[in-house]
Amino acid sequence: MKPDHSPRPSGGVPASGGVHRKARKVTVQDSVGQRIDNFLLRTLRDVPRSRVYRMLRKGEVRVNGGRIKPTYRLVAGDEVRLPPHTSAAEGREKFIGAEQLNRLEAAIVFEDDDLLVLDKPAGIAVHGGSGVAFGVIEALRRLRPKGQLELAHRLDRDTSGCLLVSKHRRALSHVHASIRAGTMGKRYALIVHGLWPDFRRSVNLPLQKYVTHSGERRVRVDPAGKESLTEFSVEARSGCASLLTAQLITGRTHQIRVHSAASGHGIVGDTKYAQAADVAVCRKFTIERLCLHAEEVILPWDDGERRFTCPRPAEFVRIWSQLA
């Protein structure tokens, strides 16, 4: 039986409140090696993401009776205490309209028993939270209600392209192990302002997360930050822009965006890290999207490797034609 994608009346959100859950303990069996924050997000799917991290910060979640950090990795036999919480989704289901569901269904480029690969549209978050009603993963779970779908990695909301979603625990662990080992390859296409020089083939600048006075999370180059390396190559140049490809050697938040901007060539359409002159160019050409696209993911697998490719979106190609 196919899931019902039909729109719900009057905004689609039932008016009833959430369901309160008592504290309980869970013994780890099939989540060995998973970070505790990801384990909680999967186990407490109906709890807002912000509430899950607040549980961890306040020490409400205990493993074997002790407090742990969000980066703690579970081992077999760990006893996890889940604190009392309110399950919002059972009493207040997130409304995801038929149009959004159909759009994401059409964006699936590959699917088998292990993985689902989506050509994520720009402007859609990978998960809900912080003012975002729903994201890709919530919509995919609505489309595949019997599955155990989990984000295998992430893309910025404004970035389009290849997004891997695991369909069971073994596939998720395999992707995460590949990311930690640096054996998962990711290639991006991007358009930057100005003429990128041939000699700048790599950018190795440490990156640090920080929060602005308004509460917005950002990233900057900082000697105290984490080591970050991006390799760039020039595909074409125009009078005012360059078309590049980028390979992520490390996978920090906003890495390509900040490394590009720090090199004096911000990504076209990037309002978060853009210079004033760059914003003016975008207004002139009516550019309303970030010109960064995850074009290819290469993943080691049992039978050698899997290569997933998402062609550059029509809007991305149109913008380059305008600038060129």
Residues designated catalytic: 156
Helix 98-106 × helix 136-143 angle, to 10°: 90
Beta bridge partners of 234: 244
Length of the chain: 324
Q: What stretch of H or E contains 42?
A: helix 36-43
Q: Rounded to the nearest 5°, which phi and psi values hold at 203?
A: -125, 120
- Cα–Cα dist 128/48, whole Å: 8
- Cα–Cα dist 295/261, whole Å: 20
DSSP state at residue 66: B
Strands 185-193 and 304-309: unpaired
Per-residue 3-state assignment (H helix, E strand, C coil) for 223-252: CCCECCEEEEEEEEECCCEEEEEEEECCCC
